[in-house]
Amino acid sequence: MRSSAHAALRLATLCALLGAGSAAAQGSIPGSQWLSINNRLDGQRFSPLKQITPANVSRLGEICRVQIDGPTTFEAGLIVVNGVIYTDTGRETLAINAKTCAVRWKHAYVPDEARSSPSNRGVAVMDGRVFRGTGDARLLALDAATGKLLWKDVIGSPELGESAAAAPLAWNGVVYIGIAGSELGVRGRVMAYDAQTGRELWRFYTIPIGNEIGADTWKRAQTAKTGGGGVWGALSVDVTTGELFVPVGNPWPDIDKGYRPGTNLFTDSMVVLDARTGALKWWYQVTAHDWDDLDLVAAPVLYRDQIRDVLAFAGKDGYITAVDRDTHRLIFHTPVTTIGEQYEAATPQGVLACPGYAGGVEWNGPTLDRLNDTLITGSVDACFDVKLGTTKYSPGSLNFGGSVKPDGPITGWVTAVDADTGKVRWRYHAEKPVIAGVTPTAGGVTLTGDLAGNLLVFDSKTGALLRKVQTGGALAGGVVTYAVDGEQYVAFASGNISRSAFGSLGVPSVVIMALNGRRSAIAPARRASLEERAGAPNLARGRTLY
């Protein structure tokens, strides 16, 4: 009896620290929490909440906001557990009250080494712990109630350009995370760690060497050691089969494909591993011998299409791709942005690549609208002038094997396609790139945002734009919905200051909205000079619009 009472007291104390009552109470409404980067481990992102609808979305207004860091990138997802939002930037990790925006705790990370990357795409939460990677290639475990550091692992070498910018995935007592840094000539990999101790359980290299499967696709074997293949987005897992789905980045050098002859597995591929052992099960390569930075970064969506198990994903090639998981055959390949003329390679004089580099679908990929049987994704509409140059490897140094710069306006799209056939149902042209999370709901609305700072709310069935709310900060991270005390909320990451191709707007802030929320005044938006130069959309440029 004493033991049971003690356990109950500990549970009550933890819930009080989280500020949301009991876990059972908060989880009583299906969809009341947002437990992983993509809500579900299978990447679907669909929310069963239905309080917010096309009929009442006009009443959606701001409840509160909180600035969480100074000017820096804010590309992270949001996790909502028991009435608390967890998120991060490059150095800060925070727990925020999901009703009031009050900061419950903040953990400031001081890098052990010079950072390779200021970016971070989110945290994972499991069993009272928060997990995140760092720019100097560490994996941290924090106490979810207090923010106290529980353990820290060194999982990569910043001197070689390695970083841990990806969002971890936590499942069944294990934390999975990848190593990023393709442009710096890393050898990509994904690893699994025991969530309690931080002990490494296994690792899989995305660039094979020696006797590993795929090593023969690197015809100059020595180039594989610096072959890229970084993992810098999120992962998905099928809990029924124990399969881990890993989107793999581009090869290095990005532009100079002659430096690394061969098809360069497993770059630009969706790699499927045994989640328990790390053993390779199968793969699907989208682009072989890439020179245009057409990598995969967003977590895939797993669903059943009548009798088929489907793997659907989108990448910087500008397509949604669906593959039969049993036969590994293509089901459909649908463009979701402007696709230009296809070239075999870059030249010293330059070629116009559309999309490529910062175009196509970035770290927030497609979602499954289960209400309307559609896949919906945001994308970047951009062209780049790509010139072949000289490749020189220097550990930890950036080298593309050429040069790249934007050419023309940079805008965005939101596209919905039939989940069975890939046929386009509807699309919306945004004034700036759409790289934020896309969230459809059972209420019939789909939520996302653009880099102009607009929260966008669509009728999920028709694609009609129901609301466009200027938030004062670029949306490049999570857009989530949840319920507390029976009321549905929407929260999103606003205020991204990112790489020059995307520009900057605002400062990193979490914004919470609900029906009948106040409509606060928004300060004038600050735009990066590149965005100012980009101007209005101009589609009459000789490009082929999908």
In a domain, 16, yes or no: no
373: exposed, middle or buried (Cβ count in 10 Å: 0-12, 13-18, 19+)? middle
In a domain, 450, yes or no: yes
In a domain, 26, yes or no: no
> What are the C-alpha distances in Å from 49 to residues 85, 158, 490?
17, 42, 11
In a domain, 89, yes or no: yes
The residues pairing with 380 across neighbouring beta strands, listed in sequence order, are 360, 412
In a domain, 47, yes or no: no
If we measure between CA atoms, which residue out of 467, 454, 458 comes closest to residue 426? Answer: 458
Look at residue 363 and give its three-state secondary structure.
Answer: coil
- 3-state SS, one letter per residue, for 240-304: CCCEEEEECCCECCCCCHHHCCCCCCCCCEEEEEECCCCCEEEEEECCCCCCCCCCCCCCCEEEE
Query: What number of CA atoms fall less than 13 Å from residue 319's CA on the CB side?
Result: 17
pLDDT score recorded for residue 84: 98
pLDDT score recorded for residue 28: 64
129: exposed, middle or buried (Cβ count in 10 Å: 0-12, 13-18, 19+)? buried
**Two tokens, residue 391:** 């490749």
Give the single-character DSSP code of 360: B
Tokens 């409840």 — which residue? 63
Q: Which pTM does this prediction carry?
A: 0.91
pLDDT score recorded for residue 502: 66
The mean predicted confidence, pLDDT, of the chain is 90
pLDDT score recorded for residue 454: 98
Q: Summarize pLDDT for 493-518 with one digit per residue, the tens.
A: 999 997 655 668 999 999 999 998 87
Residues of the chain with pLDDT under 70: 1-28, 499-503, 519-546
* CATH number of the domain within which 307 lies: 2.140.10.10
CA distance 508 to 492: 11
248: exposed, middle or buried (Cβ count in 10 Å: 0-12, 13-18, 19+)? buried
Look at residue 349 and give its three-state secondary structure.
Answer: coil
In a domain, 28, yes or no: no
Q: What is the dihedral sign for C-alpha 341, 342, 343, 347?
A: positive
In a domain, 363, yes or no: yes
**Two tokens, residue 41:** 């481990």
**Two tokens, residue 496:** 């991204």
Please give the tally of structural domains in the chain: 1
Range of the domain at 230: 55-96+109-534
Residue 99 phi/psi, 5° resolution?
A: -110, -30
Measured between its terminal Cα atoms, the distance across the chain in Å is 67
In a domain, 104, yes or no: no
Beta strand spans in 354-398 (E):
367-369, 374-381, 384-388
CA distance 356 to 381: 10
Decide: 345 and 291 in contact? Cβ < 8 Å: yes
Residue 296 phi/psi, 5° resolution?
A: -100, 135
pLDDT score recorded for residue 116: 72
Contacts of 39 (CB under 8 A, 6+ apart): 45, 46, 47, 439, 480
> What's the full length of the chain, in residues?
546
pLDDT score recorded for residue 499: 67
> In angstroms, how far is CA 466 from the centroid of its own chain?
25
Count Cβ neighbours within 10 Å for each residue of 449-465 and write b for 16 or more, e otherwise.
bbbbbbbbbbbbbebee
